[in-house]
């Protein structure tokens, strides 16, 4: 019968997850979750929408255009779909800061929303994995969140050849800006400008640099000195040689922030993940709340947007009404990592992520057909994944084809022997088949399952 209704589309920038796409999504989620748990993080979640001022409090009213915001009909509270998790996290920590054991190690992986123009790597609704350590100001906490990110990348099949983790530090960026004569009052504006460098036309960038007193060449020269010092330390740790002696000439950059980054490098080396990392002071991270170490994870050749990004935000819990608590975390969205995995051939055909049936029950005779329901129900009750055909055909070959199509491990064939309580079981991976009493069926499938896996 022809369609008589009107057709509807999903909103732009959102996705329908049919079974194959959903299976890939669940694969990514299960890697995120199991690696997070193995690294000692506990899962949380918050509301899908928050009071609008939770977002404007931190980022100012300018963020409103990037939000989906709304009111309830007849209500007078303004809400917004969450664009990121950190404000919710800060609110949740602030609400129970006294009673939560420290350091707090949390992860989550819900959906987020941005009212932007959809483009490659950026959707209006996306899933994002967030990992945070709260209450530990040591570089160890930074190494821990970087380690769980590497754990996920490794489990997805990526290596340090495919990926670069670019470390940076907000204070060191600030120092280099100050040293290149940017006024204290222009520091935040200059950092935001550096963050948007790639998105601006050269002429725009030059004009805006002038406005904040930024001499890019001077800044770059100073940033390069810092990077040289720290990348030297990375190379030394990687080659297991002692730390490089200071090169002759001007003394190397030094200070608390440098010492912090050098200690972070020791932690990363201990965890055997330093080979994924390099220091790059051009990484700024746009969000205003970062205070110390920041980092981004990129595909090594620079293709695609950042796979993940994060850093230290030591002032934020306090801003949301909690005590002063140091914090570090990062987020990885599902879209860019999906593009990278696809590009590198690290995703199997989507159907292979679908759960395989343990058994597919086939009626070979009309007499047997009346018993399918009960046998299927009994097998399912033992915790097995069982399917059957609703077709009226008794052509066993055809029905075995249906069983193979859904990648069933076994076919259970009900024929005339059923009146004597006998069924046939066929292993669809190995091909062998045997007859057995119906009462042995569940155990036989389970045992065969154990040997084939």
For residues 228-267, which are near a second copy according to CB under 8 A? 267
Helix (H, G, I), strand (E, B) or coil at 2: coil
- The size of the interface with a second copy (CB under 8 A), counted in residues, is 100
Tokens (6 digits) for 72: 């309830």
Q: Tell me whether residue 101 or residue 302 sits nearer to a second copy (CB atom).
A: 101
**Residue 176, SS3 per DSSP:** helix
The nearer residue to a second copy, 248 or 383, going by C-beta atoms, is: 383
d(CA 294, CA 222) in angstroms, rounded, equals 18
- The Cα 304–Cα 106 span in angstroms is 28
Site string for a second copy, 271-310 (x = CB under 8 A): xxx-------------------------------------
The residue from 31, 134, 147, 337 that contacts a second copy (CB under 8 A) is 147
CA 65/CA 77 separation, integer angstroms:
18
Choice between 48 and 247, CB closer to a second copy? 48
Q: Least CB distance from residue 381 to a second copy, whole Å? A: 7
Shortest distance, CB of residue 41 to a second copy, whole angstroms? 9
Residue 400 found at the interface with a second copy (CB under 8 A)? no
Contacts of residue 222, defined as CB under 8 A and 6 or more positions apart, other chains included, come to 175, 176, 179, 180
| Residue from 202, 383, 397, 431 in contact with a second copy (CB under 8 A) | 383
- Residue 253 vs 338, nearer CB to a second copy: 338
| Residue closer to a second copy (CB basis): 113 or 205 | 113
Residue appearing with tokens 């989550």 = 108
- Asked if 128 and 62 touch (Cβ cutoff 8 Å), the reply is no
135 Ramachandran zone, left/alpha/beta (phi>0; psi -120 to 50)? left
Q: Which stretch binds a second copy (CB under 8 A): 91-99, 158-166, 180-188, 232-240?
A: 91-99
Q: Which residues have CB under 8 Å from 49's CB, separation 6+?
A: 70, 79, 80, 81, 82
17 binds a second copy (CB under 8 A): yes
Closest distance of CB 167 from a second copy, Å: 17
d(Cα 252, Cα 250) in Å, to the nearest integer?
Answer: 6
**Closer Cβ to a second copy, 44 or 262, answer by number:** 44
Write down the least CB distance from residue 48 to a second copy, Å: 6
Cβ-count burial 116-154 (b if 16+ within 10 Å, e if not): eeeeebebbbbbbbbbbbbbbbbbbbbbbbbbbbbbbbb
Instruction: With H, G, I as helix, E, B as strand and everything else as coil, classify residue 353.
Output: helix
Interacting stretch for a second copy, rule CB under 8 A, among 67-75, 173-181, 187-195, 255-263? 67-75
450: tokens are 């154990």
Question: Does residue 37 belong to the site contacting a second copy (CB under 8 A)?
Answer: yes
Task: Report how far residue 9's alpha carbon sits from residue 384's, in angstroms, rounded to the nearest whole number.
Answer: 37
Q: Is position 103 an interface residue for a second copy (rule: CB under 8 A)?
A: yes
| Nearest one of 46, 64, 47 to 55, comparing CA atoms | 64
- Residue 225 makes contact with a second copy by CB under 8 A: no
Please identify, among the stretches 63-71, 183-191, 220-228, 290-298, the one whose residues bind a second copy according to the rule CB under 8 A.
63-71
Contact flag: residue 157 with a second copy (CB under 8 A):
no
| 3 is a contact residue toward a second copy (CB under 8 A) | yes
Name which position in 31, 54, 156, 173 contacts a second copy (CB under 8 A). 54
Helices (H), 253-411: 256-270, 316-319, 334-343, 366-369, 372-381, 396-405
Of positions 31, 85, 134, 151, contacts a second copy by CB under 8 A:
151
What would the x/- binding string for a second copy be over residues 342 to 381, using CB under 8 A? ------------xx-x---------------xx--xx-xx
């Amino acid at each position: 019968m022809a369609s008589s209704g009107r057709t509807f589309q999903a909103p732009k920038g959102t996705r329908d997850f049919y079974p194959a796409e959903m299976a890939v999504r669940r694969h990514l989620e299960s890697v995120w979750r199991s690696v997070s748990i193995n690294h000692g993080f506990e899962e949380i979640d918050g509301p899908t929408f928050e009071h609008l001022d939770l977002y404007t409090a931190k980022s100012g009213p300018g963020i409103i255009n990037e939000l989906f915001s709304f009111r309830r009909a007849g209500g007078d509270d303004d809400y917004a779909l969450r664009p990121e998790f950190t404000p919710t996290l800060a609110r949740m920590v602030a609400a129970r800061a006294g009673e939560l054991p420290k350091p707090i190690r949390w992860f989550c992986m819900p959906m987020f929303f941005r009212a932007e123009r959809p483009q490659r790597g950026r959707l209006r609704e996306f899933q994002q994995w967030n990992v945070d350590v709260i209450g530990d100001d040591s570089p160890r906490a930074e190494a821990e969140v970087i380690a769980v990110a590497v754990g996920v990348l490794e489990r997805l099949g990526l290596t340090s050849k495919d990926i670069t983790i670019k470390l940076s530090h907000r204070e060191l960026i600030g120092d280099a800006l100050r040293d290149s004569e940017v006024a204290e009052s222009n520091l935040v504006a200059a950092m935001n400008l550096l963050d948007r460098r790639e998105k601006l036309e050269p002429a725009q960038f030059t004009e805006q640099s002038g406005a904040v007193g930024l001499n890019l060449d001077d800044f770059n020269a100073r940033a390069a000195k810092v990077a040289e010092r720290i990348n030297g330390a990375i190379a030394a740790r990687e080659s297991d040689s002692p730390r490089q002696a200071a090169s002759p000439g001007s003394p190397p950059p030094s200070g608390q922030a440098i010492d912090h980054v050098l200690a972070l490098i020791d932690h990363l080396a201990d965890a055997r993940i330093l080979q994924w990392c390099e220091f790059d002071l051009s990484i700024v991270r746009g969000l205003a709340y970062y205070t110390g170490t920041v980092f981004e994870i990129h595909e090594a050749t620079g293709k695609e947007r950042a796979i993940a990004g994060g850093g230290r935000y030591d002032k934020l819990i306090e801003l949301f009404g909690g005590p002063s608590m140091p914090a570090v975390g990062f987020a990885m969205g599902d879209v860019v990592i999906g593009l990278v995995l696809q590009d590198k051939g690290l995703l199997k055909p989507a159907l292979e992520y679908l759960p395989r049936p343990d058994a597919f029950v086939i009626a070979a005779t009309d007499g047997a057909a009346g018993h399918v329901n009960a046998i299927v129900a009994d097998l399912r009750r033992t915790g097995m994944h069982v399917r059957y055909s609703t077709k009226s055909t008794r052509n066993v070959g055809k029905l075995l084809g249906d069983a193979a199509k859904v990648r069933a491990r076994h076919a259970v064939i009900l024929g005339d022997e059923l009146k004597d309580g006998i069924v046939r079981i066929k292993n669809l991976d190995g091909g062998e088949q045997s007859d057995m009493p119906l009462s042995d069926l569940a155990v036989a499938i389970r045992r065969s399952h154990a040997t084939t896996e």
